[in-house]
Every structure is written in C-alpha cells, then in structure tokens.
Chains A and B, each alone.
Chain A
Amino acid sequence: MRNPLADKVVEIKPSGIRKFFDIVTEMKDAISLGVGEPDFDTPWHIRDEGIYSLEKGRTFYTSNSGLKELKEEICHYTKRKQGVTYDPNHEVLVTVGGSEAIDIGLRAMLNPGDEVLIPQPSYVSYEPCAVLAGGVPVIIELKGENEFRLTAQELEDAITDKTKVLILPFPNNPTGAIMERKDLEAIAEVIRRHDIFVMSDEIYAELTYKEKHVSIVEIEGMQERTILINGFSKAFAMTGWRLGYACGPREIVEQMTKIHQFAIMCAPTTSQYAAVEALRNGDDDVKEMRMAYNQRRRYLLNAFREMGLECFEPFGAFYVFPCIKEFGMTSDEFASRFLAEEKVAVVPGTAFGNCGEGYLRISYAYSLDNLKVAIGKLAAFVERLRAEK
C-alpha cells in the first residue's frame, strides 16, 4: 500500500508537553503546576447566558464571521481597552479559540518560502502552523537578560528579504514576559522600515501586573499591518468554550474568513452568546481574577527568592519562568527528576523552544494553598540537589 501520509505533517515534531502529560496522568497523587488554563470556573452569569441561549433554541449556525452582536461588542471592547477602532462588518472574525486565528491568519498571508519570525520561548503552535501554511519558520531566541522581551536589534538581525510576518506573542506563555510601550515603539520602527506584517497574539492581554497592557496596534502605523488575536479563554476563564477572534485589515480578514467558512463554518453558537455577556458585563470578574493571579505571582517570586532560585519578575500571563542552570541539568532532566522524586509536574522550558533550556515553566493557575504545597516540595528538592553537588 502507498504511504497514506503527507511528509509535511509527519515531519512535524509532537509537542514536548505530551511526554509529561502521559507520565503525570498515570501518577495518581501527582501535583501539577503544568496547566495552561485558568483554575477559575467561567463566571456564572456568562455560563447562564450560554444556557439561556440553548433554552431559547439558539442552536443554529451563525454567520461565518460570527454573531453581529458579538463582533460589535469585540469592537467596543478593543476601543475601550486599546483605543483603536475596527469595523465590525469587515475587520473582525470570530474563531474557534485564538488557535484557529493563528492557523488561518498564517494560511491567509503566506506564500511558499515566505519567512515567519517566531520569537521563542513561546506557545507551541506557531511553528507547526507556519510550516503547514507553506512558510519557513525563523526562530528568534529571546534572552533571559532582556527579561525575554523582543529587542529591535534581535528583530533587525533576523529579517531577510523573504521575511513576511512577525509573530508577537506577548504577554508571553511560557515566560510571563510583557512588551511595554517603549519596547513596542522600538520594534515598530523596524517593522515599518522593512514593510513586514505582524500577527500579535494577545490572548493574555487582560493579565498584566504592571502597566495596563499595550497592544502593538496602538503604535502609529501598525494597525494597518497587524492581525490582532485575542479570545475569551484566559481573560474570562472560558478555555473549553473554544472562542477567540482576530481583528485586522479588511483584505486579510476577508481571506481568513474564506478559509474559516470552508473549514469551520462558524464558531460555536452557544459560546458566542456567552461571549457577548462576557464582554458586556465581565470586567469585574476579570479584575477579581487578575488580583488573585497577582497575589500568587508575588507569592511565587518571593518563594524563589527565599530558596535562592533565579527568576526575573514576569509581569504577564500566569506563568513564572525560573532559571535552573545552577544545577547543571537540562530542563528535561530537572523536570523528570522533580516529578519522579516529589511528584510535582512542571513543564521544561524546552517544550517552548530550544532557548528555553535551563528554565522551567511554572503555572500559577492554582489556588495559593495548592501552590504552597508544591513550592514546599520544590524547596526541598532544590536543597537536595545543592547538597548532592
């Protein structure tokens, strides 16, 4: 029989997280700090709206690009938060999570051989999506000494005449790094000069703990060359609802909508009704969750300080990214031993790119009580490693 598979797909490496997932799932009493989703339930009034939509029989497709009301609310929200205006009829597309927007955005923009700049460590799907879209991923290795921000120089050095799109993943998973206005202004100049496009994945925009999140689209001349991706998963604790969106220039969004129309038809209707409620009345919930995350973030940073574990202060998302280079082990070795000996799961930094070597991603989407138990075990483990040396 002929090989039924496409080489392009077979050559994609499976996610590095998989291995840990399999081990942890087997271990009955393991504590996990490896989760990339909020621990909060979706606020009740949002769930209630989803239920109500079902009761009313709103069980049909919506228009391909999404419910009109939702697209309008997305535009109000983006205006309110970022101060930029989008046309709900032509510049917004409601997608199945931010993930779908990443996929179809790249497919809409890339010609074979176009280079996509991907700063790493970052979310696991940019690289495979770029490959599947016929592009060539070019990795920019972000550095701990820059707090894992993207600098203008790093960007400049990575650009060639084939570069078409820069992916901008901030606030960042797994590092928790953010880009402040001054950082964005510096890279925006390079982006404009080289005439490249930006895919800005701002799924963690609501979760910043320093200045209010600044989007690249707020910087002069950037809105017209940026696809802004956001969604409901992290801000409103709605991961399972699978709902995100993309805002961008009409000509790109139209082509994305075409792919979405043929591949997906439309995002889940129930989720769209719930999301309208989230945008209309969810600000207080977000504020409350952000406050809780920030308390945990401070707790962890202080705990690392006390155990002498090096960690830059991350100001976004719900991850900390401590450095374990002092132990002379790879991230994978450290995480494997920690799991075997203390039954606590963390994700090796290398799951998010080679330059994550020497780091761990620790999620604080857990209650303080849970974090305390896990951190106690980390402290004991670190002490034991130091004694061994």
Chain B
Amino acid sequence: MREELLAIVERNSRIDLKELAVILGVEEIDVVNELAALEAEGIICGYHTMIDWEKTSIEKVSALIEVRVTPQRGQGFDKIAERIYKYPEVNSVYLISGGYDLLVTLEGKSLKQISGFVSDKLSTLESVLSTATHFILKKYKDHGTVLTKKYEDTREKVTP
C-alpha cells in the first residue's frame, strides 16, 4: 500500500483519512499508522499547497540559478550546498550532473531582490566560481499539473 498511498498524497495531501482508507481498500487505522511511519522515516517531509501566484495580485519572481563551484576537500559539494540552502529565499538546491554543479531555485518579491541576492550573497561565496541566472517568465506545468488549461471531457456522453 505504501507506493499507492504516496502516489495519492503526493497529488492530494488534503484527502481525508476515511476516503483514503476506502480507495486503498484498507482500514482507516492502517492509513493513520502508515502516514505516521512515513513522516517518522522522513519520507513524507511536508504537505504543501500548489499556488498559481500568477493569478493573484501578489508579485513574485522566481529564478533558476546555475552555480559552478570548487568542491572542498573531504566534504565535496555538501558544505557549499549547505551554505547556500540556509538562505530562506532559496527554495531548493540540487547537485546536478553536466555543465555546472548546483541548481538553485529562488523566489523573491522582485527582479531587484533576486539580482541583489545573486550579486551580493551567492557570487561572493569563496568557492563559487560562476553563476548564471534564469528568470521564469511563465509556468505552464508544475508538479505534474498543467496550469494553463482546464481539463475538459470531450467524450460522447453515453457509449456502449
């Protein structure tokens, strides 16, 4: 049930426990225990809400930043990654294979705020060799959900 449970709550963390038990074909208490175990094991790390900020009047700017760094002896990339993820404006930090080392995603109130972060904080770190900042202009699909179009049932209404 673990895999199926995770697949469901990954898409809808607000689903109620009774319904979860029904569609998984198990008892409610089993769902409660399994969720508790998944949380304790750090497999479920949080329950977030997907928001399309574009549709609000609140200004948000997101950026992806490619960062090339010098790995440190004995600690590889971990130390520098930690330095970067401690900034609260940083959303995610990934170690990446290929042309650069770390991919940092960032959310800020304005272009100015993000560029300020990159020039003042990120690129001045000692082991950072270079950065390339990409601002996100439009989100079409996020977390497996298409943001631009609504699902429409185009099937014939009754078929054998």
Contact = CB atoms under 8 A, between A and B. Distances in A.
A25 B157 contact: yes
Contact of B160 (A17, A345, A368): A17
B22 interface: yes
B25 interface: yes
Interface residues of A, number: 28
Given A291-B7, A298-B22, A302-B22, A37 B155 contact: yes
Contact of A21 (B19, B24, B153, B156): B156
Interface in B112-160: 153, 155-160
A48 to B, nearest CB: 16
B23 A368 contact: yes
A298 B157 contact: no
A17 B138 CA distance: 45
A36 to B, nearest CB: 4
A44 B25 CA distance: 30
Highest count of chain A CB atoms <10 Å: which of B24, B25, B155: B155
Contacts of A345: 157-158
B160 A295 contact: no
How many of chain B's residues touch chain A, expressed as a range? 10 to 19
A39 B22 CA distance: 21
B23 A299 contact: yes
A351 B158 CA distance: 12
Contacts of A124: 160
A35 B23 contact: no
B23 A123 contact: no
A59 interface: no
Contacts of A17: 158-160
B7 A123 contact: no
Contact of A347 (B8, B156, B158): B158
29 contacts: A15-B160, A17-B158, A20-B158, A21-B156, A21-B157, A21-B158, A25-B157, A30-B157, A32-B157, A32-B158, A34-B157, A35-B156, A35-B158, A36-B159, A36-B160, A37-B159, A39-B155, A123-B160, A294-B25, A295-B24, A296-B23, A298-B23, A298-B24, A298-B25, A299-B22, A302-B22, A345-B158, A347-B158, A351-B160
- Interface pairs A-B: 4 shortest CB-CB: A34-B158, A295-B23, A21-B158, A32-B157
